[in-house]
Amino acid sequence: MSSLPYPEHWSDIDTTLYNSSVKVFHTVKKMLSVKMKLHADTQVQQGDIFLFNHFSRFETFIPQFLIYEQTGAYSCAIAAGEFFSEASVLANYLKKVGVFPHDHERLFPLLAAQVLRGRKIIIFPEGGMVKDHQVMDSRGRYRIYSRLTGRRRKHHTGAAVLAQGIAAFKAAICDAHRRNNHDQLRAWQGALQLDNLDQLLASAFKPTLIIPANITFYPIRSSDNLLLKAVELFADNLSLRQTEELLIEGNILLKNTDMDIRMGKPIAVCDDLNPWHRYLLKNAAAQFKTLDDVFAMSSSPKNRQQECLSRYFKKTADTLRDAYMEEIYANVTINLSHLASTLIMYCMEHGQTRITRQRFFATLYIAVKQLQQNNAINLHRSLLNPFDYGDLISGASQRLEHFICVAKSTDLVIEHETGYEFLPKLLAEQDFDNIRLENLVAVYCNEAKPVPAIRKVVINALTAHDSIDPKQLAIWQFEDECCDLSWERHAYKKPCFDDINEHETAVADPHPFFLNPQHANGIGILLIHGLLASPAELRDYGEYLATQGYTVIGVRLKGHGSSPCALRNKTWEDWYATVLRGFNILKAYTPRIFVTGFSSGGALALKLAAEQYPEIIAVTAIAVPIKFNNPAFMLVPFWYEANKLVDWVPAYEGIRPFIDNRSEHPAINYRHVPIKSLYELRRLIRAMNDSLPHCKIPVLILHGDEDPIVAVKSATEVIDNLQTSNKQLKIINSNRHGILMENIGGTWQVIDDFIANCQG
C-alpha cells in the first residue's frame, strides 16, 4: 500500500496538461527511430477498455496518446502504487493526466466512472513486463512469469471484473429509465459530472466493449546504445535487470524499430446472458445506488440474488480473461525473425542441429508465400513487400542476415561455409532478466507460439522443400515481381513527388510479363528493357516470340514503370538483381535460354552472359549505350557530384536532380531522367566492359546507323572488347533509337536467324 492515504475521489484529468502532453509526445515521436503504426478499423472508436501485452516500460505511455490522436477521447491508465508513495512532481503529473494507482481501494468505481463519462481505460493485464514472451505452458494454457513467486501464474481478471461492473451499472441506469426514476437518473448524472441526462442514457445503452491489442517490436536488438552509455556516466554498478532493459529498450527507441499496435476483435460484456442470469442482473441492478455498490457485490452481497449474480460474474470473468488474452496474443505481427526462430527451435527439438544455407533460406521463402494466403494471420509489411523477402530464395536477405548475426554473436548459431549449426544454448534455461540478451531466438519463438499456424506452416515448408516443384517457386517469384511494382507505385504516390509525377505521360502497362506457349519448343528468352522504359517496350516482341513456341519473360528493372523518383533511388546492382530473378524464373521452365536486351538492358544482358551460366546459349544486345550523341550527358559526372555535395541540406533536392527526356515513346518512357540514374548507367557500362572478355557464348550486337541517342560507335567498342569466337555486328539503317520495339529494318528477323544458327 501507499505510504500516503489516497483521497476517496481521484483528481480529474487536466485537459490542458493532457493536450500539451499529446503535443510533446507527437514531437518526441518524430525524433525517435521507433516507427509506430496503429492497425485498427472501428475498434479504437468503439472500445471502452483497451488491453495490451507488455514488453517494454516506455510502451505504457504510448497507447493513450495514440488513441487520443485517433479519436480525441481522453484515456486513463493504471500505474504501480509506488509512483504515488510521495508527493513528487511525477506523482502530481500522473494524477493530472488520468493515471490511477493500482492499490487504490476504490480503483474499479473510479475507472468505471471514467468510462461512463466517455473516457477510455488502458490496462496491461499481464501485471508486468513479459520479457521472454513465454505466455503459454506445455499444455497450451496462458500463463506468465511472476517475480513474486518465481513461477508461472494465470493472468489477472481485473479488466473483466471492471467491464462486468460497468455493464451491471449500465443495467441499473436502463432499469431506472424504464421505471421513470428521474431523481435517481439526475443523481447519477451529477455524480458522473455529465451535462445532461441524454449523455447518461447514451452511455448506458452503449455496449461495454473490451478491445484486446498487441504491441510487436521488430527487430529486437541487444547491442550497446547511447542511452545505456549515458546512464552509465551517472550511475555505477547497474544491476543486470537495469542493464538489460536499457540495452533492449534503448535500441527499440533509437535504432529504427517498427512498433506495430494491432487491435483485435471487440469483446462485448454481458452480451450472451441466458434468461436466468438476465433476471438476476435486472433485479440486482434495481438495488444499485452507486458504482461502489456494484463492485462491493462480490465481497458483500446484499441478498441471495446478488450472491448468485456475483458467483456467475466470477465464473465468467475467467472466461472473459481467457478470451481477451487469447485475442491479444493472436494479434502478434509476425515477421521473418519469428519464422526463422520457429524453424530453428523445431530443428533443435527434433535433433537436427545442422541445415544448409540454401535449405534454410528456401524453407523460409516457402513459408512466407504460404502464409500470405492466410488472411487470419497478421504479417509484418516486410513479409508482404517482395523488396524485403524476395531475395530469400537466393540466400541474400538482409533482414535474415541481421538475424543470423545476432544469433551468432550470442553463441546460438555457428555459420559454416555451406550452412548453419544450431548450438545447445538454444534450449538452455535462461534467467527471466537475461533471456533477451542471451537468447532472442527463444524470445521470438515464444512470441509466435500463440499462433499455431506459424509452426505448422514452417514445418510444412521444411518438409516440402525437398520435393517442391521448381515451377511453383518460379510462379511465386513472378508473382513477387508483379507485387513489387504495386509496392513501388504506392511508395512514390505521395504528394511530395507530385511535382515530377504530374508531368509524366507513360500510360502503357509496366508490369513484367511471362508468356508460356501451349506448345513450347523448350527454349526460353529473357527480355530486358532499357533505361526510363518498362516491359511494355518489349511486349509486342515477346508475343511475337511466343507464337514461335519460345517461353518468354520480360522483366521490369527496379525503379521503372512507377515514378522517376523511384528510379532515382536505385542502383545498377538493383537492375541487375531483377535480371537475375527473371533468369532464375525462366530456367525453371527451360534449360536453354537466349538473352536479349535493349539499350541499358543490352548492357545488363552482356553482364549476365559473362557470368557463364550453362543455361544461357547466346545473347543479343541492341543499342548498348556507351557513347551518347547528346552533349548534355557529358555533364553527368559534374551534376552528380554537385548533387551529392548538397544532399546534406534537408529540404534541398540537389543542383539538378532531373533532366528532361524527349522520348520517342512517351506512353512508355519517363519524361524525366534522374541524374543519379545516368551516373548508375555509367557504372553499369564500366562493369559490363570489365566482364566482356569473360563472355564465351555467341553474341549479336545490333545498332541503328543514325541512332539519335546512342552513338553507333558504341557497337564497335562492344565488339572490340568481346573475345568470344562467335560475335556478330549488324548495323540497321535507322534514325530511330527504338529499333527493337519498332522492328525497324527487320530487326526481329535478324535476331530469329541468329537464334536459329545458335541452335544448330
196-229 pLDDT per residue, tens: 999 999 999 999 999 999 999 999 987 765 655 5
Give the 3-state secondary structure percentages of the chain, helix then strand then coil, rounded to 5: 50, 15, 35
Q: What is the DSSP letter of 96?
A: H
Cis amide prior to 219 (ω within 30 degrees): yes
Task: With H, G, I as helix, E, B as strand and everything else as coil, classify residue 184.
Answer: helix
- Nearest C-alpha neighbor of 328 from the set 161, 457, 166, 142: 142
Average the pLDDT over each of 139-143, 159-163, 743-747 and give the range with the smallest value.
Answer: 139-143
Which residue ranges does the chain devote to CATH 3.40.50.1820? 471-759
A 10 A CB-CB count for 520 gives 15
pLDDT at 145 > cutoff 90 = no
Please report the sign of the dihedral spanned by the C-alpha atoms of residue 123, residue 125, residue 127, residue 128: negative
Q: Is-contact 721 692, C-beta < 8 A? A: yes
At residue 601's C-alpha, the angle toward residues 691 and 506, to 5°, is: 160
- Beta-carbon contacts of residue 145 (< 8 Å; ≥ 6 apart): 128, 130, 132, 134, 151, 152, 432
Cα(388)–Cα(36) distance, integer angstroms? 19
Select the more confidently predicted residue: 250 or 12: 12
Q: How confident is the model at residue 638 (pLDDT cuts 50, 70, 90)?
A: very low
Taking each continuous run of H as one helix and of E as one strand, the counts in the chain are 30, 22
Class of domain 471-759: alpha beta
**Candidate from 68-77, 122-131, 624-633 with smallest mean pLDDT:** 624-633
Look at residue 643 and tell me whether its pLDDT is greater than 60: no
Choose the weakest-confidence range: 45-49, 537-541, 626-630: 626-630
Tens of pLDDT, residues 482-523: 999 999 999 999 999 999 999 999 999 999 999 999 999 999
Q: What's the number of CA atoms in the CB half-sphere (13 Å) around residue 332? A: 28
Which H/E stretch holds residue 683?
Answer: helix 675-691
Long-range CB contacts (within 8 A, 24+) of 408-414: 410/222, 410/437, 410/438, 410/439, 410/440, 412/344, 412/439, 412/441, 413/344, 413/441
- d(CA 426, CA 442) in angstroms, rounded, equals 7
* Dist CA 464 CA 458 (whole Å): 10
Q: Does the pLDDT at position 4 exceed 90? A: no
Q: What is the DSSP letter of 632?
A: G
Contact criterion met (CB below 8 Å) for 368 and 392: yes
Q: What is the pLDDT of residues 314-367, one digit of tens each?
A: 989 999 999 999 999 999 999 999 999 999 999 999 999 999 999 999 999 999
Give me the pLDDT at residue 252, please: 83
Cα–Cα distance list, 691 to 557, 571, 589, 603, 607 (Å): 20, 18, 27, 10, 6
Q: Select from 719, 513, 741, 707 the least CA-distant residue to 606.
A: 719
Backbone phi, then psi, for 598, in 5-degree steps? -110, 135
**pLDDT tens for each residue of 383-418:** 999 999 999 988 889 999 999 999 999 999 999 999
Chain centroid, CA 355 distance in Å: 27
Strand partners, 379: 334
Q: How confident is the model at residue 234 (pLDDT cuts 50, 70, 90)?
A: low
- Give me the residue label for grid cell 546504445: 225
Rounded to whole angstroms, how far apart are CA atoms 673 and 600? 14
CA distance 754 to 217: 56
Q: Which residues pair with 213 in a beta bridge?
A: 52, 263
| Count of beta carbons in the 10 Å neighbourhood of residue 316 | 19
Predicted pLDDT at 226: 62
Helix (H) or strand (E) holding 598: strand 592-598
